[in-house]
Homo-oligomer: A and B are copies of this chain.
Amino acid sequence: VGVAVEPMTQASLMALDWGTTSLRAWLLDRDGRVVEHRQTDDGILKVPIGGFPPVFATIAGPWLAAHGPLPALACGMIGSRQGWIEAPYAPCPCTVGDLPSRLAIANATFGHLAIVPGVAWDPGQRPPDVMRGEETQIFGALGEAQFDGLFVLPGTHSKWVVVEAGRIQRFATYMTGEIFAVLRQHSILGRGMAADDLHDAAAFGDGVRSGLGGSDLLHRLFEVRSLGLFDRLSAKAAPSYLSGLLLGSEIAAARAGFGDTHGHVTLIGAAGLVQRYVEALAVAGIAARPAAADVTVRGLWRIALAAGMIAA
């Protein structure tokens, strides 16, 4: 007659968001709840060639030692050409069920790391577009809800994504965040700017209205300089104006491409940046609400379930 032993742990999955500049990892229990969480700055830009297995071992080693064999699933730029192993792209339209057959498998010191494929929108008559990591966040935000809507994921490269009936239908990338950064740091526009990044709501709003008002971004960028020369924009307010101008330009272009509403507009991203987009979208008359903070781990859980990686 045996003794019923409560298993030491309910751990069932190691979930990783392994991006360009950071690595976040969660240990999940059999219901998908977070048991433990780690975060490091070991993004793919920092890790040298051949360095991914030891970084992964640092995260996974203690969890495997404590909980026994566990599957591992990662999303993000770790699956890019500059990452550990290149994962393919799933074509649009794409459901969560289209991802498992395209997982890339990296051989780790202990077991394997499965890497979520990216998603590609390749309309043929126009150049293709790609995402890596955002698909996981979107499927996490959707959950089982399957609602139609527009997802906006601000960042270095913003994504605008049309979702219908649980499918990623089509999307477009806008280089807004990177353009802001390189203009701020390396162009004549940055020379006139104050060093700190205090948000000036009025200048930001003026910038958004200018960006929304015209399709001549290469010209309007020069406003940051000319308004400064005429003492109509202070060095302190200039970064907010430039930021608003770029967000307004992105919104105008995306609205022209995707139409006005698509039902829900959901924002996914860092809280501060999402707040700027809520403000800018409001100027354009578009109401948007932020997604929950844990959409990435929710998405990894859903993909792991779809892939049959989690023991029943």
What is the interface of chain A, defined by CB distance below 8 A to chain B? 81, 122, 127-130, 157, 172-176, 178-179, 182-183, 185-188, 210, 214-219, 221-223, 226-227, 229-230, 232, 246, 249-250, 252-254, 256-257
Q: Which residues does chain B contribute within 8 Å of A227, judged by CB atoms? A: 127-128
Say whether, besides A218-B250, A229-B81, A210 and B127 are in contact (CB < 8 Å): yes
Check A216 against B256 for contact (C-beta < 8 Å).
Answer: yes
Say whether, besides A127-B226, A182-B187, A227-B128, A217 and B219 are in contact (CB < 8 Å): no
A94–B250 alpha-carbon span in the complex (Å)? 35
Query: How far does the Cβ of A242 sit from chain B's closest Cβ, in whole Å?
Result: 12
A-B contact pairs, 8 of them (CB 8 A): A127-B232, A174-B222, A176-B218, A179-B221, A215-B215, A217-B218, A218-B246, A218-B249
Q: Which residues does chain B contribute within 8 Å of A129, judged by CB atoms? A: 222, 226
Say whether, besides A172-B219, A253-B215, A187 and B178 are in contact (CB < 8 Å): yes
Can you add 16 more A-B contacts, CB < 8 Å, to A174-B222, A176-B218, A219-B253?
A81-B229, A127-B226, A128-B230, A129-B226, A175-B187, A175-B219, A178-B187, A179-B187, A179-B221, A182-B183, A216-B253, A216-B254, A216-B256, A217-B249, A218-B249, A218-B253
Q: Which residues does chain B contribute within 8 Å of A249, judged by CB atoms? A: 217-218
Check B219 against A174 for contact (C-beta < 8 Å).
Answer: yes
Q: Which residues does chain B contribute within 8 Å of A186, judged by CB atoms? A: 182, 185-186
Name the prevailing secondary structure of the A interface residues. Answer: helix
Check B223 against A127 for contact (C-beta < 8 Å).
Answer: yes
- Name A241's closest neighbour in chain B (CB-CB): B127
Q: Which residues does chain B contribute within 8 Å of A176, judged by CB atoms? A: 218
- Name A172's closest neighbour in chain B (CB-CB): B219
Q: Which residues does chain B contribute within 8 Å of A216, judged by CB atoms? A: 172, 174, 215, 253-254, 256-257
- Name A210's closest neighbour in chain B (CB-CB): B127
A290–B81 alpha-carbon span in the complex (Å)? 44
Query: How far does the Cβ of A108 sit from chain B's closest Cβ, in whole Å?
Result: 26
Query: How far does the Cβ of A135 sit from chain B's closest Cβ, in whole Å?
Result: 15
Query: How far does the Cβ of A44 sit from chain B's closest Cβ, in whole Å?
Result: 13
Check A222 against B183 for contact (C-beta < 8 Å).
Answer: no
A227–B126 alpha-carbon span in the complex (Å)? 10
Query: How far does the Cβ of A185 sit from chain B's closest Cβ, in whole Å?
Result: 7
Q: Which residues does chain B contribute within 8 Å of A172, judged by CB atoms? A: 216, 219
Among B122, B182, B214, B222, contact of A175 (Cβ-Cβ < 8 Å): B222
- Name A206's closest neighbour in chain B (CB-CB): B127
Closest 8 CB pairs of A and B: A215-B215, A216-B253, A127-B223, A174-B218, A173-B222, A182-B186, A182-B182, A186-B186
Say whether, besides A182-B186, A183-B182, A226-B130, A218 and B175 are in contact (CB < 8 Å): yes
